[in-house]
Amino acid sequence: MSAYPQPSTYVIATAQSLGANYTSPQIAKEQQQGIYVQAVVTGGTSPTGTWAIQSSADGSAASWNTVTSTSQSITGNGVTSWNLTGQNYKFFRVIYTFTSGSGSAAITANVL
């Protein structure tokens, strides 16, 4: 048995199309210390866009803000990840802003 707390793992998307903008469902971070999010992009034709993590104190539609330094551009297949600690928000979500191309993404998050 591990002496360390085990993370809660969330499967956010398994084959999310990257042919348009995407906003994931919100995930409650609650009082956890950190999150690790990974987006794996495969297939398609040169998916081009920007990933980011957004946070909210209450999850309402008007209260989402992009977390500083989380915007990452992609120009093809590959892995994008974020390791965030010391964040004091209650909810987070992943957004993708479409520029061009197509592809799909599998997105998972560990909350600890």
pLDDT of residue 6: 77
Higher pLDDT, 88 or 14: 14
pLDDT of residue 51: 97
Beta strands 65-66; 48-56: pairing state: antiparallel
Q: Which residue has the tokens 């969330």?
A: 10
CATH class of 8-111: mainly beta
- 79-104 mean pLDDT: 94
What is the DSSP secondary structure assignment for residue 8, as one 8-state letter?
E
pTM reported for the whole predicted model: 0.91
Taking the C-alpha atoms of residue 26 and residue 22, their distance in angstroms, rounded to an integer, is: 12
pLDDT tens string 17-57: 999 999 999 999 877 888 999 999 998 889 999 999 999 99
Sequence ranges of the domains in the chain:
8-111
Q: Which two tokens stand for residue 98?
A: 């479409």
Taking the C-alpha atoms of residue 82 and residue 69, their distance in angstroms, rounded to an integer, is: 10
